[in-house]
Amino acid sequence: MKTPSQRIYLIGGNNKAKLLARSLTERGYTVAAINASAEICEELALIPHLRVYNGDGSLPNVLDDASIHDADIAIALTGKDEDNLVICQLCKKRFGVKRTVALISDPRKTEFFYKLGIDSVVCEVTSVASIIEQQTLMNEFSTLVPIGDGRIKISQVPIPADAPSVNKRVMDIKLPNHVIIGCIVRGEDGMIPRGNTVIHAGDVLVLISSDEQESSVRELTGRESEM
């Protein structure tokens, strides 16, 4: 298998950064993490082949010291949408990073971030992780950027106890061809589903789609989408 050549920087985050760092380094990417928390940096340093820098990634001098200009992809994972915007803009406009990804907590900001030049905007890190694990990110974050006239849509669907999909295998759920279940979050754990994976009440499903998801949500939950 060809070793991935992308150099990816993870800026901010705690468990989010650790999840992505471990997944990406295990797949052979060159990964660096920048984090303002010395404690988180110590935990990140335990991940093999990961370069770790302690500092506030929203500051130009910290990004410069970490050689952010070498990055192919910069992913901003802090808990503040505004900081992630600043980080991505600095990376792209000041340091020439080819592709930027911003994590946001408020989906209403998505189009605003795109208008300001952010290449990819996601609302949950589980979305990014699931794409990585499915190997659709082996060459670049192509599933997170515009495709044709639209964008890949990623959303989370909580499964209530009375949902028709409870105790069903993934292979037995009739979803449109353009919709896949990219990840199942169960408690504190995330898993990449297979055809025989059984859905449980309380699961949160991460759907990845290139089109509307209304019928998919009805099939999974028995209810109309609130998105």
The confidence band for 6, taking pLDDT boundaries of 50, 70 and 90, is confident
Rg (CA), the chain: 18
Q: What is the mean pLDDT of residues 16-26?
A: 86
Query: Mean pLDDT across the stretch 56-82?
Result: 94
Of 74-88, 121-135, 184-198, which gets the smallest average pLDDT? 121-135
13, 65: one domain: yes
One domain for residues 125 and 157: no
**Read out DSSP for 59-111?**
SHHHHHHTTGGG-SEEEE--S-HHHHHHHHHIIIIIT--SEEEEE-S-GGGHH
User: Parallel, antiparallel, or unpaired: how do β-strands 179-186 and 189-191 relate?
Assistant: antiparallel
Helix or strand (DSSP H, E) at 225: none
Q: What percent of the chain has pLDDT over 70?
A: 76
pLDDT at 25 over 80: yes
Q: CATH no. for residue 136? A: 3.40.50.720
Q: Which residue has the higher pLDDT, 114 or 68?
A: 68
Q: Is the pTM of this model over 0.85?
A: no
Structural domain containing residue 35:
7-140
Residue 2 lies in a domain: no
Q: Quick one: 58 and 92 in the same domain?
A: yes
Same domain, 171 and 105: no
Please report which confidence band the pLDDT of residue 210 belongs to, taking 50, 70 and 90 as the band edges: low
Compare 214 and 28 and report the one with higher pLDDT. Answer: 28
Say if 124 falls within a structural domain: yes
- What CATH code is carried by the domain that includes residue 178? 3.30.70.1450
